[in-house]
Copies of this chain bind each other. A is one copy, B any other.
């Protein structure tokens, strides 16, 4: 096996995918991509690293491949954009270039088809541990991208889906013996997350969301980021948080507040537009969880017993001690 053989394997596994504006794919110094007329380009990249984001003895190769692309594509959804093409950078041990790589690429390929974007290039090298970096290129109509900075006092705050589900899945995965199979909804959410591309695009095109971001590190870590970018605060009603049904209700609440990896969308909607939002969009629940406050960066948590506390970030931050 040499580098060119690994590249040909990657090219072969994804050859069937075409379109997305890709004019020249894998195999030259760069890819060539033709932007659609009347669109802006949006760009994002995400790490997926062995030991930090996945475990080789717990996560199947195809789930690692799927999720590496899903993580990055979720940022495209959070802007209200359309995913077009992606670059895959992969470092791996020589002994994983056989069956493991085949399965990994099958996962990436399935995700690419589902998300509508095409593998167009990347870089491959040998490494003791598996390192992945994915860059996704998307498009959005000029002025229609939904930034983090547009939330205003009085806006309602919404989230899609169920919060904390992926973390419940992670717990089940860690409790199991050997390689996991996605036997239930929580494990599936952890292993094969689906970026909310349709919802994000719908919100952007109808200009319903004033601000939006995806929930990758947990509500308590990500909401302060949206508030800081918008120069606002927020008030969350704990009773409204769409959460996993667990025997321990407090546990379910903590997971909804701090659980990471859900890749749901969080967005603000101007009061006069709240009535235009359905309770679900294409099978994904939309839940009003609170409101935007003028008080800069203060985030209050209104409990079921009437008390109000300040929300303290407890989500995932790699540099937090």
Contacts and interface: CB of A to CB of B under 8 A. Distances in A.
Interface size, A (range): 35 or more
A89 B29 contact: no
Contacts of A89: 45-47, 133
Given A33-B42, A40-B34, A318 B28 contact: no
Given A91-B47, A225-B4, A319-B94, A214 B29 contact: yes
B123 A213 contact: no
B49 A23 contact: no
Interface in A14-58: 23-24, 27-35, 40-47, 49, 52
A144 B47 CA distance: 33
A1 B318 CA distance: 10
Nearest to A84: B41
A60 to B, nearest CB: 23
Q: How many copies does the complex hold?
A: 2
Given A123-B46, A133-B89, A79 B29 contact: yes
B24 A123 contact: no
B28 A40 contact: no
Contacts of A124: 318
A133 to B, nearest CB: 4
A97 B320 CA distance: 12
A145 interface: yes
A214 B123 CA distance: 15
A214 B214 CA distance: 38
A135 B31 contact: no
A5 interface: yes
A28 to B, nearest CB: 5
A53 B51 CA distance: 21
Contacts of A214: 29
B44 A317 contact: no
A183 B43 CA distance: 38
Given A319-B6, A319-B94, A33 B28 contact: no
